[in-house]
């Protein structure tokens, strides 16, 4: 790392002790932007990097709620409003027991550059809670969401901060959150949250957008190498929102998805994942993947407690959680013929894994670029809400596809410009950074 950046990074470590995921996310960006500082001394003069690494505002709050038996529980809620140089803070809410400030900050930091890459007017933020929705009844989830929003509502708004979903927060939770916001404020302010249901201001394609967008991005990477999804063996990790729609689009584009996973293990289905069955189990019944194997037939086995990355594939789309592909996984994947990786999740590949993929010449699409279709479609939802309009599925999907093509094109051009052809990590970090840095310079010392 460039000497100046290394000292900034040391400072980040000192000021944010123990927040290892945040350190990892910062390090990856700082490792890419050294050459930009050479071309733009004004960024260093104005301490843009130091400012970008410090959130504009961090909110931590108590979330008390009662379960169905009347027992009281206390969770912790977070919203990190990281950077609003390009627009209102924008980014999802994660409900998962592992959530703490370091996770929310890594996600918020990534979001700054991802949102910038979309070319749309959205700043970066993220939030969530250590609440575990697993095993909770619908009424418990509703009470939790209502309590969470009873504090969050004073910090958000169409022009301030616009949350959405992430792990553990889907359409159901967004509905409960929006309902409580509307009740407290007495305002039907649709632009305050995205990922809403279609009956109350949601946008077509937002549910599908992250997974579809990731498939479109991988399609572009494959096209750039003169190939396509056609007939390729694909593994997608996870079986949540991003994974399900990544599988759907890959299948439509001619790929064959042979494995997916959840936090308990994975299934291999050589005939190709049966999407209807997967949706029924995961989205309707909110069940476990083990049930998929039990119902699908003898050719499918559920493999408990192991990583899906031991299944050979030509294309990998990690769509579960951070740091799921280790260096060892990556080495094995390269050895068994993986030619492209599109990160549906945020930071799912460890730094060692990324290094191995890049050195092996694998087309590696980092999350900031490859999964930006979700937040981009959220920005389209905001556009529709602001103009009291609603677009068709076809129009919105077309727009998403164009956005993903543009992001791919800019990553390629920027990597070329900086002498690192084919390096989408450098392309995404540099292009995402430049736009935010220029806006910050224009806005003065704020
Ligand atoms: N929902 C969205 O629009 C976007 C989500 N993402 C990222 O995509 C990833 C998945 O998010 P969603 O699909 O929305 O969440 P989800 O809650 O719908 O699904 C998460 C999936 O990951 C699995 N999972 C979670 N923790 C795991 C662990 N420790 N080990 C193995 N599997 C695990 C779960 O079993 C589930 O299948 C996350 O990294 C999220 O930050 C990125 C961009 C947008
Ligand atoms: O749609 C959004 O605002 C948030 C999506 C998100 O959380 C992400 O891109 O990781």
DSSP, residue by residue, 246-257: HHHHHHHTT-EE
Any ligand 1 atom below 6 A from CB of 321: yes
349-381: pLDDT as tens digits: 999 999 999 999 999 999 999 999 999 999 999
Q: Best of 134, 167, 193 to mutate for ligand 1, by most ligand atoms within 8 A of CB?
A: 167
Q: Quote the ligand 1 centre to 262 CA distance (angstroms).
A: 9
Ligand 2 centroid to residue 115 C-alpha, Å:
9
Question: Is there an atom of ligand 2 within 6 Å of 194 CB?
Answer: yes
Residue 77, Cβ density class (10 Å: 0-12 exposed, 13-18 middle, ≥19 buried) = buried
Q: Contact at 8 Å (CB) between 16 and 22?
A: yes
Q: pLDDT per residue over 272-319, tens digit each?
A: 999 999 999 999 999 999 999 999 999 999 999 999 999 999 999 999
Query: Which strand ranges, in their side-by-side order, compose the sheet holding 123-129?
Result: 57-66, 72-83, 123-129, 89-95, 161-164
Which is nearest to 374 in space by CA: 205, 219, 220?
205
For the chain, state the CA radius of gyration.
Answer: 21
E strand segments, 97-211: 123-129, 161-164
Report domain extents, the chain: 1-54, 55-187, 209-370
DSSP helix, strand, coil percent of the chain (3-state; round to 5): 50, 15, 30
**Run of H or E including 131:** none
Give me the CATH code for the 55-187 domain, please.
3.40.50.10860
Can you tell me which atom of ligand 1 is nearest the CA of 242?
Answer: 13
Taking the C-alpha atoms of residue 128 and residue 59, their distance in angstroms, rounded to an integer, is 11
- 378 has binding-site annotation: yes
Q: Which residue has the tokens 């699409």?
A: 365
Distances in Å between the Cα of 243 and the Cα atoms of 12, 84, 385 are: 33, 29, 27
Closest CA to 193 of 389, 385, 376, 397: 385
Q: Ligand 2 in contact with 233 (CB < 6 A)? A: no
Cα→Cα distances 51→80, 85, 436, Å: 15, 11, 11
* DSSP, res 314: S
Q: Stretch 206-231: mean pLDDT, rounded?
A: 98
How large is the average pLDDT for residues 198-221? 98
- Interval 224-250 mean pLDDT: 98
What ranges in 118-170 are assigned the alpha helix state H? Answer: 138-152
pLDDT category of residue 1 using cuts at 50, 70 and 90: confident
Residue 439's pLDDT band (boundaries 50, 70, 90)?
very high
Q: Which helix (H) or strand (E) holds 174?
A: helix 171-185
**Ligand 2 atom closest to the CA of 371, numbered from 1:** 9
Q: Which residue has the tokens 């729609």?
A: 245
Alpha helix segments (H runs only) across 264-335: 275-279, 289-296, 327-335
Would you please indicate which residues are annotated as catalytic (active-site) residues?
A: 126
Q: Are 235 and 258 in contact (CB under 8 A)?
A: yes
Among all chains, which residue has been given the structure tokens 């936090």? 263
The pLDDT of residue 312:
98
3-state SS assignment for residue 148: helix
Residue-wise pLDDT for 86-114, tens only, equals 999 999 999 999 999 999 999 999 999 99
Q: Above 90 in pLDDT, residue 333?
A: yes
**Residue 210 annotated as binding?**
yes
Distance CA 105, CA 78 (A): 10
Q: Which residues contact 282 (CB under 8 A, 6 or more apart)?
A: 239, 240, 244, 262, 289
Please report the ipTM that was assigned to this predicted complex.
Answer: 0.98
User: For position 178, what pLDDT does the model report?
Assistant: 98
Please identify, by atom number, the ligand 2 atom nearest to the C-alpha of residue 377.
1
Up-side HSE of residue 62: CA atoms within 13 Å toward CB? 5
- The fraction of the chain above a pLDDT of 90, given in percent, is 98
Q: How confident is the model at residue 47 (pLDDT cuts 50, 70, 90)?
A: very high
115 is in an annotated binding site: no
Q: What is the pLDDT of residues 167-182, one digit of tens each?
A: 999 999 999 999 999 9
Cα gap 391→152, rounded to integer Å? 29
Q: Tell me what pLDDT residue 22 has.
A: 98
152, burial (CB in 10 Å: exposed 0-12, middle 13-18, buried 19+): buried
Say if 55-187 and 209-370 have the same CATH topology. yes
Report whether residue 12 contacts ligand 2, using a CB cutoff of 6 Å. no
Ligand 2 mean position, distance from CA 324 (Å):
19
Check: CB of residue 84 under 8 Å from CB of residue 57.
no
- Quote the tokens at residue 329: 């996984």
So what's the pLDDT on residue 160? 98
Give mean pLDDT, residues 208-215. Answer: 98
Under CATH, which architecture does the 209-370 domain have? 3-Layer(aba) Sandwich (3.40)
Q: What is the mean pLDDT of the chain?
A: 97
Q: Is the CB of 16 under 6 A from ligand 1?
A: no
DSSP letter assigned to residue 120: S
Distance (Å) from CA 91 to ligand 2 centroid: 4
Nearest to 315, CA basis, from 397, 268, 248, 259: 259
* Ligand in closest contact with the CA of 92: 2
Of 248, 242, 284, 276, the residue nearest 262 (C-alpha): 242
Residue 406 has pLDDT above 90, yes or no: yes
Contact 212, 249 (CB under 8 A): yes
Residue 138: other Cβ atoms inside 10 A? 10
How much is the pLDDT for 3? 85
166 CA to middle of ligand 1, Å?
7
pLDDT at 2: 81
């Amino acid at each position: 790392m460039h000497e100046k950046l290394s000292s900034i990074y040391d400072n980040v470590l000192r000021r944010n002790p123990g927040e290892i995921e945040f350190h990892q996310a910062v390090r990856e960006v700082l490792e890419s932007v050294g050459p930009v500082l050479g071309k733009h001394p004004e960024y260093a003069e104005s301490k843009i990097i130091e400012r970008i690494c410090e959130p504009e505002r961090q909110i931590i709050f108590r979330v008390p709620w009662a379960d169905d038996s009347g027992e009281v529980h206390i969770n912790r809620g977070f919203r990190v409003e990281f950077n609003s140089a390009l627009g209102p803070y924008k980014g999802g809410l994660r409900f998962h027991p592992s959530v703490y400030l370091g996770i929310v900050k890594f996600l918020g930091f990534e979001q700054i550059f991802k949102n910038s890459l979309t070319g749309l007017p959205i700043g970066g933020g993220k939030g969530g809670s250590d609440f575990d929705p697993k095993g909770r009844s619908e009424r418990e989830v509703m009470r939790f969401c209502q309590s969470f929003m009873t504090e969050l509502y004073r910090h958000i708004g169409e022009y301030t901060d616009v949350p959405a979903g992430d792990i553990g927060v889907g359409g159901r939770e967004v509905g409960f959150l929006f309902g409580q916001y509307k009740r407290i404020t007495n305002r039907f302010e649709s632009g305050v949250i995205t990922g809403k249901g279609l009956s109350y201001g949601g946008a077509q394609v937002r549910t599908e957008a992250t997974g579809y967008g990731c498939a479109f991005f991988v399609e572009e990477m494959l096209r750039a190498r003169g190939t396509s999804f056609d007939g390729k063996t694909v593994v997608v990790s996870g079986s949540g929102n991003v994974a399900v729609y990544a599988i759907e689009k890959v299948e439509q584009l001619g790929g064959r998805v042979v494995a997916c996973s959840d936090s308990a293990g994975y299934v291999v289905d050589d005939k190709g994942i049966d999407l209807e069955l997967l949706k029924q189990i995961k989205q309707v019944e909110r069940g476990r993947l083990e049930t998929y194997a039990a119902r699908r037939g003898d050719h499918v086995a559920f493999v408990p407690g192991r990583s899906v990355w031991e299944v050979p594939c030509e294309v990998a789309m990690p769509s579960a959680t951070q740091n799921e592909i280790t260096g060892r996984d990556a080495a094995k994947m390269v050895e068994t013929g993986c030619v492209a990786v599109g990160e549906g999740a945020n930071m799912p590949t460890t730094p060692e894994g990324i290094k191995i993929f890049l050195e092996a010449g694998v087309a590696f699409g980092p999350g900031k670029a490859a999964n930006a279709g979700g937040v981009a479609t959220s920005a389209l939802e905001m556009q529709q809400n602001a103009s009291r309009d609603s677009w068709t599925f076809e129009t919105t999907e077309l727009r998403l596809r164009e956005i993903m093509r543009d992001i791919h094109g800019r990553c390629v051009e920027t990597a070329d410009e900086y002498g690192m052809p084919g390096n989408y990590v450098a392309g995404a970090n540099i292009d995402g950074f430049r736009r935010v840095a220029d806006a910050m310079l224009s806005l003065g010392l704020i």
